[in-house]
Structure 1
């Protein structure tokens, strides 16, 4: 019986060590990754550029399109001073590609001639600001801060990636039902 008890005890110890290893190895791996920066990507994930010099949307020198924009929406604003028809169509297609998240984004075309495409608001510069350039695109958060800016040569796929990432990381608070305290 002594030999059988010793084998059973070794088997139980092995099971315990295996169980501890299952939970300890991920923690140790994460600690090594953080401490020695192994396996952590250092590159940027956004395709656009940060735009700290761009004022909040309330201070943009544009003729009043603000009433047409939905409060609480992200805004994809684009300068349409050159090749306007192609740019407007490109950003309309991007808006459609957002699928069920499309209602969370408003499009603002600044400049250009012609009627607005579906879901698009029109605006004109009162005076052209120094931070504006032809074909520039800005992505503004619901508070009106310019989150990212893009040059006229940007690929729409890159903007779509950034917009979908930001929408995923910032859930729509308007869609969440408010819980009432004390109700069942």
Structure 2
């Protein structure tokens, strides 16, 4: 093999190193080979729901202004569900202070750290024992059926908290904010 042929072979190998990944990626996209079909969120996206301020609720407080909110509907006594979401909240560890809990309805005293609100009207999208995860601005992000596994909700919540880091000075803001609307029953 001559020197010129060797140099051409090196040049072709150099082009192949850069062209091969592009060709493989194009083939994966074109023929849908090797692209995962799995979901990353366990809940249902809730883009059609109104923000929390438009829900027919008595006003409720959350711990911090930049907190995510776990809101769960308790049409009657729901001690098991309240305990379940309290334990999920504790399982967040150091991120627990970025999440507030809101129990809507139910009887009895709320568990520590939970706020209570009551429905003041009907909402067509409401269903008993449902859990909603709302962003810091009060927009519903995910909704969960009553039979959802707690580990799935914890996984989604951890992912959202990791993807949306806390603002640097947020831990020093100790004020609580009012969410929801309507007249206060209590």
- How far apart, in 1, do the equivalents of 2:36 and 2:102 lie? 34
Shift of 1:121: 1.4
Contact 1:63–1:124 (CA<8 Å) still a contact in 2?
A: yes
Q: Is residue 2:65 matched to residue 1:71?
A: yes
- The alignment partner of 1:142 has SS state of coil
- As a proportion of its length, which structure holds more strand? 2
Q: Within the alignment, does 1:147 sit opposite 2:141 as a pair?
A: yes
More helix by percentage: 1
Q: Is the 8 A contact 2:73 2:128 kept in 1?
A: yes
State the Cα deviation string for residues 72-93 of structure 1 (Å, max 9, x = none).
2111100122451100110011
Q: Higher relative contact order by CA 8 Å / sep ≥ 6: 1 or 2?
A: 2
Within the candidate set 47, 50, 54, 1:52 is matched to 47
- Check 1:105–1:37 CA distance in 2 against 1; reply closer, same or farther (3 A cut): same
SS at match of 1:106: strand
Comparing 85-94 with 99-108, greater Cα deviation is found at 99-108
Q: Name the larger-Rg structure.
A: 1
| Cα distance in structure 2, aligned partners of 1:99 and 1:17 | 54
| Structure 2, unpaired ranges of 5+ | 171-186
Alignment of 1:93-108 (within 5 A): 93-108=87-102
**Pair 1:24–1:161, CA change in 2 (3 A):** same
Residues 141 and 24 (structure 1), Cα distance of their counterparts in 2 relative to 1, 3 Å cut? same
Alignment: residue pair count: 170
Distance 1:28 1:100 in 2: 44
1:89 aligns with 2:83: yes
Post-superposition offset of 1:102: 1.7
Matched, 1:123 2:123: no
Q: With structure 1 as the length reference, what TM-score do the two structures score? A: 0.77
Structure 1 residues 36 and 150, CA gap change in structure 2 (3 angstroms): same
Equivalent pair of 2:69/2:133 in contact (CA under 8 Å):
yes
